[in-house]
């Protein structure tokens, strides 16, 4: 697999690990947040923390779309599917997110709701075309990466004059979440960011400048392959040691300063900023999400079905909030691995493989069992 | 199955005909379907007895019996179809017990409206697979459900086999220090099905590895040596099967990622769909767990067989009260290889 295996080379990883070990100052602690779930997944799947010195700590950020989706939004989707009997389409990870009354979209399906998993917004559009008498609603989630495909679907629906297609827009903005983290405890806690990969291909590297300039935190944009992550960590450590705070781009093979202008224009045409949006774990953040513009109002499922947002608190014992803010580790939550497991998630971080809790449970939980033998890395 | 041929007016229309409710009613239409399609393809002296069950000679030895239901979609896929799969799947379950498979029984649930031509193609492929394996389908059953209540055809097969004297294989026999052998590339079957389902095209097409493994298991048993566990990593893939064995035996495991064979096309398809090949189904691979001293000899026996040319020693059984299956990654880091959770849902970004 050209262009992938090159970025998973074990030997190169070990030489990067050696470079990191050489450069870290033993008396320093380096607390680095990887914003994206894609990075969290890569770190866990390839066991990258084993390659880092003990004083380099990776903190999992909130960049996992299903993790930051509040219960109230999933309730919308379930209500539409069960009460309005629409065909509800969404991406796979959304199906298992726990919502009110012990439901999830998957459980709603078992109760007779027509819930479909799609790989693309265009699959949802095709369903609407094929079933003109059935309302088809696409439950759109994700950061800037998945927003342009939603915009394309809405524009196509308009061009086709579809009367039975609409979108619940839950698209959220990465920089807004980073601001929220830095304005809170994260400002003191964190020393730098491994910046988003795919998100940055769309928005470019420029939107991260304020974090370096105003908060003094270095940002290194990195690809999702293990060597990308290792290289970015090395670059962050060099910045921190030199007292620099800059936006650097490790992912130059895909990310430019200005990003994908065409995608940005498409998104700006279809969507506008919401005044405020509730994030799971981060609370209500102003100007942190998108909604459909007036010109596309007829494709807005919230308007079409008169959905009123109702905020629902997380499960009492669930620490997803603190984990998403980087204040706690998954294993510090008292229901981690007991009441809350990937098979039976209580909090959203346990749902997606990109979620901090699911990644740690699935790939790393043997580390807490000191009596569990550790194989020699070799 | 009753095989006596009554006086039909017209033969089955195997070109344009479809299954209808009368084919499962127990009447003349069913008898005709059995005679002209099932018996015509699968014919053998036991089936020809035409009774409610097959009368078989005494097998001589401890018996193994296994059953497996097949609901694959699409019914036809690169490298196989539901018919061959139904034969291979059950033969393999019998073979993994260290048994020589002898006979199969087959139950068909057909959906009203299913094309008879497709049914014939499936049964023909089943007959071919059964002849190739030397394991006869000796009895069967057919039911028809209304349109919309099935997915074309579901097939359940049950197999019996006889275990060699002195052979005892079981999932609870793995011991710390044992080696874990794998007979070849993983993920071929699951990705062949998924890429067909999703309409994915790759430079190198992915073909299912569906095959009967009893000659390969026989080659291992012929070797002697302390073979403890044989299992085919089907649904849930290699990861799930190893977790089952670890939990049954109360041990842990350490795998070496770099030793696990995965074809580049399978790797690429998994990458595209956000899947992990460790969790993708196989239908023609086996895991053998054996005493460390016998591992080189058994690995050589696997590699000497056409179905095991790419066999590898992928890791070790260790003592671990938590039963973790761990893996040293290509990067040199470590991770857990956990049970499969839910379905393998693709990640979204």
**CATH number where A91 lies:** 3.40.50.11740
Mean pLDDT over all residues of chain A?
Answer: 92
If you search the block for the tokens 């959770």, which residue do you land on? B341
Shared domain check, B198 and B102: no
For residue B8, being part of any structural domain is answered with no
Residues β-bridged to residue B99: B163
**Mean pLDDT across chain B:** 92
Q: B11 in a domain, yes or no?
A: no
Do A161 and A266 fall within a single domain? yes
In a domain? residue B168: no
| pLDDT tens per residue across span A164-221 | 999 999 999 999 999 999 998 878 899 999 999 999 999 999 999 999 999 999 999 9
Look at residue A325 and tell me if it is in a domain.
Answer: yes
Gap from B320 CA to chain A (nearest CA, Å): 6
Decide if pLDDT at A368 tops 80: no
Q: Are residues B146 and B212 in the same domain?
A: no
Answer yes or no: do A372 and B252 touch at CB < 8 A: yes
H, E, C per residue of A60-80: EEEECCCCCCCHHHHHHHHHH
Same-domain pairing of B196 and B331: yes
The HSE-up count of residue A74 (CA atoms within 13 Å, CB side) is 31
> What ipTM score was computed for the predicted complex, to two decimals?
0.78
* DSSP calls for A143-171: STTTHHHHHHHHHHHHHHT-SSEEEEEEE
Verify that A201 and A338 share a domain, yes or no: no
pLDDT band per the 50, 70, 90 thresholds, residue B342: low
Residues 6+ apart with CB under 8 A from A365: A331, A337, B336
**Could you tell me if A225 and A135 lie in one domain?**
no
Alpha carbon of residue B327 to chain centroid: 26
Cβ distance of B332 and A17 shorter than 8 Å: yes
Q: Are residues A209 and A348 in the same domain?
A: no
Do residue A165 and residue A118 come from a single domain? yes
d(CA B275, CA B130): 33
Torsion angle of the four alpha carbons A209, A215, A218, A223, in this order, in degrees rounded to the nearest 10: -60
Please indicate, yes or no, whether residues B230 and B199 belong to a single structural domain of this protein: yes
Domain that holds residue B38: 21-163
Q: Do both A75 and A209 map to the same domain? A: no
Measured between beta carbons, the chain B residues lying within 8 angstroms of A48 are 331, 333
Residue A224 lies in a domain: yes
Domain count, chain B: 2
Nearest to A157 by CA among A130, A126, A133: A126
**Using one digit for the tens of pLDDT, what is the confidence trace for B196-239?**
887 777 666 899 999 999 999 999 999 988 999 999 999 899 99
How far is the C-alpha of A365 from the C-alpha of B178, rounded, in Å? 24
Considering only the beta carbons, identify the residue of A65, A366, A373 that sits closest to B349.
Answer: A65
B10 is a domain residue: no
| pLDDT (mean) for B283-307 | 98
Q: How far apart are CA A56 and CA A346, in angstroms?
A: 30
Residues A269 and A347 in one domain: no
Average pLDDT over residues B108-123: 97
Please tell me whether residues A145 and A269 are part of one structural domain.
Answer: yes
Q: Is A258 a residue whose pLDDT tops 90?
A: yes
- Shortest distance, CA B62 to any CA of chain A (angstroms): 38
Tell me the pLDDT tens digit for each residue of A77-133.
999 999 999 999 999 888 988 899 989 999 999 999 999 999 899 999 999 999 999
> Quick one: B159 and B191 in the same domain?
no
Residues B185 and B323 in one domain: yes
Main-chain phi, psi angles of A35, to 5 degrees: -70, -40
pLDDT of the residue at B119: 98
B307 and B194 part of one domain? yes
Does a structural domain hold residue B99? Answer: yes
CA-to-CA distance for B111 and B55, rounded, in angstroms?
30
What pLDDT score does B203 carry?
62
CA distance B317 to chain A (A): 11
Residue B204 shares a structural domain with residue B229? yes
- Which of A95, A365, A372 is opposite residue B345, by nearest beta carbon? A95
Chain A residues close to B349, C-beta within 8 Å = 37-38, 65, 142-143, 145-146, 198
What is the mean pLDDT of the segment spanning B169-176? 97
pLDDT at B349: 26
Is the pLDDT at B308 greater than 90? The verdict is yes
Chain A residue numbers with beta carbons less than 8 Å from the beta carbon of B329 are 10, 45-47
CB B126 within 8 A of CB B83: yes
Q: What is the CATH number of the domain that holds A187?
A: 3.40.50.11750
Confirm whether A1 is domain-assigned.
no
- Model confidence at B345: pLDDT above 50: no
Considering the domain architecture, whether residues A146 and A269 belong to the same structural domain is answered as yes
B199: contact with A, CB 8 A cutoff: no
CB atoms B326 and A375 under 8 Å: yes
**DSSP H or E segment with residue A212:** helix A209-213
Residue B302 lies in a domain: yes
CB nearest B329 (choices: A46, A66, A94)? A46
Residue B234: which residues within 8 A CB-CB, separation 6 or more? B89, B92, B189, B241, B281, B282, B283
Alpha helices, H only, chain B: 28-33, 40-42, 45-48, 82-95, 116-133, 188-197, 214-222, 237-249, 264-273, 295-304
CATH of the domain at B63: 3.30.1330.10
Last residue of a domain, one of A188, A213, A240: A240
| Torsion (CA) A146, A147, A150, A155 in degrees, nearest 10 | -140
Residue at A358 is within a domain? yes
Q: What's residue B348's pLDDT?
A: 32
Judge whether A375 lies within some domain.
no
What are A315-367's pLDDT values in tens digits?
Answer: 889 998 888 888 889 999 999 999 999 888 888 888 887 889 998 998 888 77
Asked if B341 has any chain A CB less than 8 Å from its own CB, the reply is yes
Helices A226-242 & A10-23 angle (0-180, nearest 10): 10
Residue A11 lies in a domain: no
**pLDDT score at A351:** 84
Which residue in B has a C-alpha nearest to residue A43's C-alpha? B333
Give the CATH number for residue B315. Answer: 3.90.650.10
B159 pLDDT higher than 70:
yes
Total of domains in chain A: 3
Could you tell me if residue A254 is inside a domain? no
pLDDT at A374 over 80: no
Is residue B47 located within the same domain as residue B187?
no
Spell out which residues of chain A touch residue B330, defining contact as CB-CB under 8 Å: 8-10, 46
Q: Judge whether A188 lies within some domain.
A: yes
* Of the partner residues A45, A95, A117, the one whose CB lies closest to the CB of residue B335: A45
Q: Is residue B114 part of a domain?
A: yes
pLDDT tens digits for range A123-147: 999 999 999 999 999 999 999 999 9
Question: Do A8 and B331 make contact, defined as CB atoms within 8 angstroms?
Answer: yes
pLDDT of B324: 94
Q: How large is the average pLDDT for residues A59-85?
A: 92
CA distance B347 to chain A (A): 6
Task: Indicate if B230 and B144 belong to the same structural domain.
Answer: no
Q: Do A354 and B342 touch (CB under 8 A)?
A: no
Q: What is the pLDDT of residue B54?
A: 95
Tell me, yes or no, whether A153 and A211 share the same domain. no
Contact (Cβ atoms closer than 8 angstroms) between residue B322 and residue A372 = yes
Q: Tokens 């699951």 identify what position?
A: B190
- Going from the C-alpha of A335 to that of each of A318, A346, B187, the distances in angstroms are 7, 9, 34
Ramachandran sector of residue A60 (left: φ over 0; alpha: ψ -120 to 50; beta: rest): beta
- Cβ-Cβ contacts under 8 Å, A369 against chain B: 322, 324
> CA-CA distances (angstroms) from residue B218 to A172, A267, B97?
58, 62, 11
The overall pTM is greater than 0.80: yes
Query: Are residues A158 and A84 located together in one domain of the fold?
Result: yes
* Residue B346, pLDDT score: 37
A317 CB burial (10 A radius; 0-12, 13-18, 19+) = middle
Query: Is residue B344 predicted with pLDDT exceeding 70?
Result: no
- Considering only the beta carbons, identify the residue of B320, B326, B342 that sits closest to A96: B342
Q: Which range of residues forms the domain containing residue A348?
A: 320-365
**Residue B346 within any structural domain of the chain:** no
Query: Measured between beta carbons, which residues in chain B are less than 8 angstroms from residue A38?
Result: 347, 349
Decide if A371 and B345 are in contact by the 8 Å CB cutoff.
no
The number of helices, as runs of H, and strands, as runs of E, in chain A is 15, 13
Confidence category of residue B9, pLDDT binned at 50, 70, 90 = low
CB contact (8 A) between residue A364 and residue B335: yes
CB contact under 8 A, B348 and A41: no
Contact list, B198 vs chain A (CB under 8 Å): 119
> What confidence tier does A13 reach under pLDDT thresholds 50, 70, 90?
very high
Is B272 near chain A, with CB under 8 Å?
no
Q: Are residues A199 and A274 in the same domain?
A: no
């Amino acid at each position: 697999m050209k262009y992938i295996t090159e970025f998973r080379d074990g030997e190169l990883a070990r030489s990067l690990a050696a470079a990191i070990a050489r450069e870290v100052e033993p008396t320093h602690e380096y607390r680095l947040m990887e914003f994206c779930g894609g990075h969290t997944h890569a770190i866990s799947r390839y066991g990258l923390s084993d390659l880092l010195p003990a004083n380099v700590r990776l903190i999992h950020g909130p960049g996992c779309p299903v993790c930051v989706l509040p219960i109230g939004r999933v309730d919308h989707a379930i209500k539409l599917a069960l009460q309005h009997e629409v065909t509800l389409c969404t991406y796979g990870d959304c199906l298992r997110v726990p919502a009110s009354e012990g439901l999830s979209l998957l459980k709603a399906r078992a109760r007779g709701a027509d819930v479909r998993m799609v790989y693309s917004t265009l699959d949802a559009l095709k369903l609407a075309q094929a079933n003109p008498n059935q309302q088809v609603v696409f439950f759109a989630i994700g950061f800037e990466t998945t927003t342009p495909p939603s915009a394309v679907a809405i524009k196509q629906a308009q061009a086709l004059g579809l009367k039975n297609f609409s979108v619940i827009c839950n698209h959220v903005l990465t920089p807004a979440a980073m601001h929220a983290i830095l304005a809170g405890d994260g400002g003191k806690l964190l020393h730098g960011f491994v910046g988003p990969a795919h998100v940055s291909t769309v928005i470019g590297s420029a939107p991260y400048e304020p974090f370096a300039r105003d908060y003094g935190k270095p940002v290194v944009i990195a690809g999702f392959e293990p060597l990308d992550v290792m290289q970015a960590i090395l670059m962050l450590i060099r910045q921190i040691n030199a007292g620099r705070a800059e936006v650097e781009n490790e992912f130059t093979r895909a990310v430019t300063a200005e990003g994908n202008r065409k995608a940005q224009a498409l998104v700006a045409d279809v969507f506008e900023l919401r005044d405020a949006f509730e994030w799971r774990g981060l609370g209500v953040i102003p100007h942190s999400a998108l909604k459909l513009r007036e010109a596309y109002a007829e494709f807005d499922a919230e308007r079409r079905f008169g959905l009123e947002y109702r905020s629902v608190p997380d499960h009492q014992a669930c620490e997803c909030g603190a984990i998403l803010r980087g204040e706690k580790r998954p294993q510090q939550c008292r229901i981690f691995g007991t009441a809350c497991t990937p098979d039976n998630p209580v909090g959203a971080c346990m749902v997606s493989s990109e979620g901090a809790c699911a990644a740690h449970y699935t790939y790393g939980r043997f580390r807490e069992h000191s009596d569990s033998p550790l194989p020699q890395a070799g | 199955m009753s095989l006596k041929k009554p006086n039909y007016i017209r033969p089955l229309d195997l070109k344009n005909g479809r299954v209808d409710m009368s084919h499962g009613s127990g009447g003349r239409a069913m008898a005709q379907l059995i005679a002209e399609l099932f018996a015509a393809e699968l014919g053998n002296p036991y089936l020809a007895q035409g009774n409610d069950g097959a009368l078989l000679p005494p097998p001589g030895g401890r018996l193994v019996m296994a059953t497996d239901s097949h609901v694959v979609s699409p019914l036809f896929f690169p490298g196989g179809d539901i018919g061959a799969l139904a034969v291979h799947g059950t033969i393999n379950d019998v073979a993994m017990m260290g048994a020589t498979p002898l006979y199969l029984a087959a139950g068909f649930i057909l959906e009203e409206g299913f094309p008879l031509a497709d049914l014939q193609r499936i049964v023909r492929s089943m007959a071919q697979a059964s002849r190739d394996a030397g394991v006869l389908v000796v009895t069967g059953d057919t039911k028809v459900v209304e349109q919309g209540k099935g997915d074309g055809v579901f097939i359940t097969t049950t197999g019996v086999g006889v275990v060699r004297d002195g052979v005892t294989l079981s999932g609870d026999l793995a011991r710390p220090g044992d080696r874990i052998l794998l007979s070849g590339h993983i993920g071929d079957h699951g990705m062949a099905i998924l890429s067909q389902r999703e309409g994915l095209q790759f430079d190198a097409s992915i073909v299912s590895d569906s095959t009967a493994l009893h000659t390969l298991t026989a080659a291992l048993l012929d070797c002697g040596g302390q073979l403890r566990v044989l299992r085919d990593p089907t649904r849930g893939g290699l990861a799930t099967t190893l977790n089952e064995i670890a939990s049954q035996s109360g041990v842990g495991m350490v795998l070496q990622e770099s030793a696990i064979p995965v074809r580049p096309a399978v790797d690429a398809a998994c990458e595209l769909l956000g899947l992990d090949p460790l969790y993708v189904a196989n239908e023609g691979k086996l895991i053998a767990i054996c005493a460390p001293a016998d591992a080189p000899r058994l690995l050589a026996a696997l590699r000497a067989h056409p179905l095991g040319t790419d066999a590898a020693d992928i890791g070790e059984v260790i003592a671990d009260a938590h039963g973790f299956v761990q893996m040293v990654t290509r990067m040199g880091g470590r991770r857990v290889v956990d049970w499969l959770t839910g379905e393998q849902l693709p990640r979204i970004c």
